[in-house]
Chain A
Amino acid sequence: MSLLDWIRPRASAPVARDRLKILLAHERAFRGQSDLLGVLREEIMSVVCRHMSVAPDQVQVRMDRGQSVSTLAIDIELPSSPGVLLAAGS
């Protein structure tokens, strides 16, 4: 067992270092702007609600932060009955 450890050490420190680097790069960029995700969610909701009636839990905002590319996914579950869609332009 100890021989195996020597040949193939389970080095988790590099993983820790890389995770920290990515996380802190983002936290530093958004420092001072508290709860970016919460603010985005609120504002997107208010825009969506102006045009259709959806419950708050039908809007999902997800963020995935990568070293070079980050994605923001907004998933809105539209109501099935046509009556709840407000007329465009109203």
Chain B
Amino acid sequence: MAQVLVVTSGKGGVGKTTTTAALGAALAQQGQTVVVIDFDVGLRNLDLVMGAERRVVFDLVNVIQGVAKLPQALIRDKRLDTLWLLPASQTRDKDALTSNGVARVIAELKQKFDWVICDSPAGIERGATLAMRHADAAVIVTNPEVSSVRDSDRIIGLLDAKTEKAEKGGRVDKHLLITRYDPLRASKGEMLNIDDVLDILSVPLIGVVPESEEVLRASNVGSPVTLCNPSSAAARAYGEAARRLKGENLPVTIPSDKKRLFTRLFGRRAA
């Protein structure tokens, strides 16, 4: 049975698109069939992060409006043949996404894939509520920073109220993914630490992605970080998160500042 997963956050720029690409690729690398859908109509970027920007012919809105059939709009990843992308449209018409249209597309994709991953736009408007509408599970991407945590709390409220599952009396499985975590700054009390964020949001943790130059490098070259540099800490965090999504029970790796302790003690004097 296909799982519909929404990657959401409320706040922009916290890493939803990076996470969608990385988790999608990680699940595909682990043998699952995956489609990632960009819901950010007007500001599509998942195609760019996945390196498929020059292959977009039709998009989600075209499929909804009946201009194209779903198979015509799906783009197969060149590196992983079980990973597909359904890009967003660049139209400025925010009402181009209809509730019925999205329901139809998701229902059709559920027939063909193990995972349907919806990359939500920022905010709490139509695009964001439609992206979460049919979700079975949600990954809430949060930075250890006050505005991001506050917006995540708002999104958690929406997941519990405005989704199809919630309206039928069920629950969307919520998972917290903390990104851009800097263990050194957290240990010095300059950044909210993992326990603070978990205590405030009360959502189970699925992974902690450390602040990493590999993430930027991956988006520069248009490759999900789990493919671009599988041995990097960020890629390992996403890989483990993907395994947890599949139901595996493994402890979350919390990035530590052990490596930097040496620099902290001795490096600074030289700097």
Residues of A within 8 A of B (CB): 2, 5, 9-14, 16-17, 19-21, 23-24, 27-28, 31-32
Contacts and interface: CB of A to CB of B under 8 A. Distances in A.
Contact of A13 (B153, B154, B161, B190): B190
A9 B186 CA distance: 12
B189 A9 contact: yes
Contacts of A13: 186, 189-193, 196
Contact of B200 (A2, A14, A21): A21
Given A16-B146, A17-B200, A19-B146, A28 B153 contact: yes
B4 interface: no
A11 B157 contact: no
Size category of the B interface is: 20 to 34
Contacts of B157: 28, 31
Contacts of B189: 9-14
**Which 9 pairs from chain A and chain B are nearest by CB?**
A11-B189, A17-B196, A13-B189, A2-B268, A16-B146, A13-B192, A24-B153, A9-B188, A31-B157
30 contacts: A2-B268, A9-B189, A9-B190, A10-B190, A11-B188, A11-B189, A11-B190, A13-B190, A13-B191, A13-B193, A13-B196, A14-B189, A16-B145, A16-B146, A16-B192, A16-B196, A17-B192, A17-B196, A17-B199, A19-B146, A20-B146, A21-B200, A24-B150, A24-B153, A24-B200, A27-B153, A28-B153, A28-B157, A31-B157, A32-B161
Contacts, number: 46
Nearest to B191: A13
A28 B154 CA distance: 8
A55 B189 CA distance: 48
B149 interface: yes
Interface of B: 145-146, 149-150, 153-154, 157, 161, 186, 188-193, 196, 199-200, 268-269
Nearest to B268: A2
Contacts of A32: 161
A79 B118 CA distance: 58
B47 to A, nearest CB: 35
A20 B58 CA distance: 43
B150 A23 contact: yes
Nearest to A11: B189
B269 A2 contact: yes
A16 B200 CA distance: 11
Nearest to B149: A20
B203 to A, nearest CB: 13
Contacts of B191: 13
A18 to B, nearest CB: 10
Contacts of A23: 150
A8 B196 CA distance: 21
A79 B123 CA distance: 43
